[in-house]
Structure 1
């Protein structure tokens, strides 16, 4: 045993204590979110059928403009648009924005729907790159295609919002498949609380492995790819626990750009989606919070689990690494732009709870956890910390991580029951356990990579290669 100076033991204990304390606080945050999510699911009314929803909302549901930006989405664009045109909703328009794609995205749309150039007046309330043309076909009165110069996802969504005429806009990814009744379900808060509701988020699920026909998920199946399977667990945890819990606490800080419904006038009030961030979806929600609280307005930003959309998850380490680093970079960019809201009494629970959660989980979380992996085991092996401290670190990292994941699956089974087969629940439970031993550590490394990119002021989305949805 090496005899170190006394101060090294004290320093090692301080470092280890900080890592363990930070981990315990994160676990406490997750447990609180889990409790609020369970309460929200417990008190929610019985899930009505699509027919009941139609009878209830058909005459009062406001028109919706569905905004779908597309960049190099040739493989999935037709299936996605087919799903959008088949939505069960009284009055809606699908606006697809071809954001200067370099592949055959626009050509596939024009050929498949026999589109022709059209003229349509639209305002320029939000900044976007020049529009090269609008395309439509009277045989598809609910479809409008915008062709514009490349400007990025935020720029494309702003163009779609400018052209939209409906009071509500639903922003999605072009590779997203909405369930047929998704709009009927996601619009409910706008109908029940029309004066206060400004934004509503729905659930996103992984389409990998599912049987898909004409843009619809015919049969939900678990992915065979292990990375995609881990992401199924992640998405359940992110939406069913975190966002539902935060929504119940009225501190929801993000509505995914892959599926969210917004009041168009409110989006215009805050200047639309920002161009100088890759986390434009989170940043828009934070801007809405800031705008409403600065003006002391009573408002609601909500997540509800029943509306579901499906998306294709990355199945390769390189693509997934780029995605997670980009997500981390987007969170940090949003935090930096609005850091004056953190712990600011002017912003109430958003400043104290919402931003505290962002600071703890998104800003500090990956760095502290990776520091723990790098420092704690060597410190124990060198005898600088006790075995009890080492066990406490392992418990925080693994035991509680497994608990949170499995508890989320329990919520899924007890309350929503979307898993039809017991073997699927068993497989997800196994995945929820083993993801903590390797995959979680990789995820934090990718997030630290996002930190490094943020520090170097890297811009752009990077490469996102898709295989296309599985067809029968």
Structure 2
């Protein structure tokens, strides 16, 4: 494997060649293990999708809509500086196909015109509303209702510094046994709640959380809070994020749902049991990864109480959300995600390889350790070390090509396989050229974009070590009434 060279650096690495190979072997093994897990996820995701799409054909959405067994849902909408999109998005929620809902907006001390546009659009007036004080949140400044929309309630509160604080405020005011958390910039498909609530009807005693698919809204045509035409983004950044979302939801989460070890239900669209949420103290404000933290908190509580439970990911309910279109905003989002994952890992380190928490503690949490904690560092080092040592002559071409195959070719294979899985079962891409376009993105993202994301995750690691707090600025594009790029 060694070649002849005279570089001083090369001489140094040659003198320590055993340790160099041990180090590279560890990096290589981590990459192989991550790819092996991805390979196992594909058949699991396919099996789960086939099982549930076939089962749902036996009962129509209309039968669910008129059923007296459908459990009522509270939709909780945390909002911070959402004046651009919130009115149209709330109008779409008010006309969702569901027999019994209430919508609670928690205005989390917005500094823009969010509260005023809501008051004007829905003719809001101050109201008195009995509520619990079970879970903590920042003080409430006022509560508003609408004579025209009795199912709508707006809670104006002081800024709590995080999304979890706004969710907790709305949770205290909610009245239904189930609640759905939806981001204020997101659009739900009309049938999404009906499809997502079905697992609770099938297994009311065991089901505790259900998540649906998040898709990128950019590129779609929206009118009056409804998507009138589905299309792919025209700009590269939201387009490559479309591929990321498909891969994350239709492979990873579907597979872990199949294995009964779901680690996260997206905070942009998930349904949960209110009673359990109150028992675990609501959503935690001490981590930026509040959705991940909340699911781990549920696993911990239910395992420690020896309660039999289930969580599910349902692929068909879709929530459409805006994706960042600038590198600056995307960087803020990804460093925050990494920081949140590390905070949750540190907070729950006693659950790793702990049989007390069953399969979740023995398998799912170690996987999260690999993917969220170790993986970013190993991948970034690999990107730097393997080419560097090749140019010094320490590694031969065959070893470098093996590394590239693991981190590039296999990644493309996983992405393309996920696209095929989606098209076979859901047929979400209306045109063949869209599939070809996404397939090309699955290839291109490995050359530059993936490395940039790896660097952002390292930045997130550094921010975690420095105890950086806060969400950072996430400006909205205002795509509610136009076609986004």
Same fold (TM over 0.5): yes
The equivalences for 1:252-291 within 5 A come to: 252-291=262-301
- Equivalent residues, number: 472
Alignment match, 2:180: 170
C-alpha RMSD of the superposition: 1.4
Hey, what's the Cα distance between the residues in 2 that align with 1:68 and 1:44? 28
Deviation by residue 1:228-270 (Cα, 9 ceiling, x = unmatched): 0000000000000000000001111000100000000011111
The alignment status of 1:23 with 2:14, answered yes or no, reads no
Alignment match, 1:36: 44
What is the aligned counterpart of 1:185 among 171, 189, 195?
195
Alignment match, 1:298: 308
What is the aligned counterpart of 2:143 among 134, 144, 152?
134
Alignment match, 1:459: 469
Helix, strand or coil for the counterpart of 2:238?
A: helix
Hey, what's the Cα distance between the residues in 2 that align with 1:248 and 1:49? 19
How far did 1:44 drift?
2.4
Alignment match, 1:74: 83
Hey, what's the Cα distance between the residues in 2 that align with 1:97 and 1:44? 34
Decide whether aligned partners of structure 1 residues 317 and 374 sit closer, same or farther in structure 2, where only a CA change above 3 A counts: same
Hey, what's the Cα distance between the residues in 2 that align with 1:74 and 1:447? 31
The alignment status of 1:404 with 2:414, answered yes or no, reads yes
Decide whether aligned partners of structure 1 residues 51 and 119 sit closer, same or farther in structure 2, where only a CA change above 3 A counts: farther
The alignment status of 1:242 with 2:252, answered yes or no, reads yes
Q: Gapped runs of 5+ residues in structure 1? A: none
Hey, what's the Cα distance between the residues in 2 that align with 1:281 and 1:387? 44
Hey, what's the Cα distance between the residues in 2 that align with 1:69 and 1:353? 33
What is the aligned counterpart of 1:228 among 235, 238, 242?
238
Deviation by residue 1:332-386 (Cα, 9 ceiling, x = unmatched): 0000000100000111111111111101111111110110111111111111123
How far did 1:142 drift?
1.3
Decide whether aligned partners of structure 1 residues 50 and 126 sit closer, same or farther in structure 2, where only a CA change above 3 A counts: farther
Q: Taking structure 2 as the reference length, what is the TM-score of the superposition?
A: 0.95
How far did 1:48 drift?
5.4
| 8 A contact 2:75–2:179 mirrored in 1 | yes
Decide whether aligned partners of structure 1 residues 438 and 47 sit closer, same or farther in structure 2, where only a CA change above 3 A counts: farther
Decide whether aligned partners of structure 1 residues 112 and 51 sit closer, same or farther in structure 2, where only a CA change above 3 A counts: farther
The alignment status of 1:4 with 2:11, answered yes or no, reads yes
| 8 A contact 1:333–1:454 mirrored in 2 | yes
Runs in 1 of length 4+ with deviation above 6 angstroms?
A: none
What is the aligned counterpart of 1:105 among 94, 100, 114?
114
Deviation by residue 1:365-416 (Cα, 9 ceiling, x = unmatched): 1110110111111111111123222111111111111111111111011111
| 8 A contact 2:224–2:480 mirrored in 1 | no
Q: Gapped runs of 5+ residues in structure 2? A: none
| 8 A contact 1:131–1:149 mirrored in 2 | yes
Alignment match, 1:337: 347
How far did 1:455 drift?
0.4
Q: Taking structure 1 as the reference length, what is the TM-score of the superposition?
A: 0.98
Helix, strand or coil for the counterpart of 1:187?
A: helix
How far did 1:8 drift?
2.2
Alignment match, 1:91: 100
Hey, what's the Cα distance between the residues in 2 that align with 1:326 and 1:45? 34
Hey, what's the Cα distance between the residues in 1 that align with 2:227 and 2:23? 49
Hey, what's the Cα distance between the residues in 1 that align with 2:367 and 2:227? 34
Decide whether aligned partners of structure 1 residues 51 and 248 sit closer, same or farther in structure 2, where only a CA change above 3 A counts: closer
How far did 1:150 drift?
0.5
| 8 A contact 1:16–1:389 mirrored in 2 | no
| 8 A contact 1:209–1:470 mirrored in 2 | no
Alignment match, 1:420: 430
Hey, what's the Cα distance between the residues in 2 that align with 1:173 and 1:442? 27
How far did 1:50 drift?
12
How far did 1:470 drift?
5.1
Alignment match, 2:387: 377
How far did 1:221 drift?
0.4
| 8 A contact 2:332–2:473 mirrored in 1 | yes
What is the aligned counterpart of 2:331 among 321, 328, 334?
321
How far did 1:47 drift?
7.5
Hey, what's the Cα distance between the residues in 2 that align with 1:41 and 1:84? 27
How far did 1:320 drift?
0.1
Helix, strand or coil for the counterpart of 1:44?
A: helix
| 8 A contact 2:74–2:176 mirrored in 1 | yes
What is the aligned counterpart of 2:133 among 124, 133, 144?
124
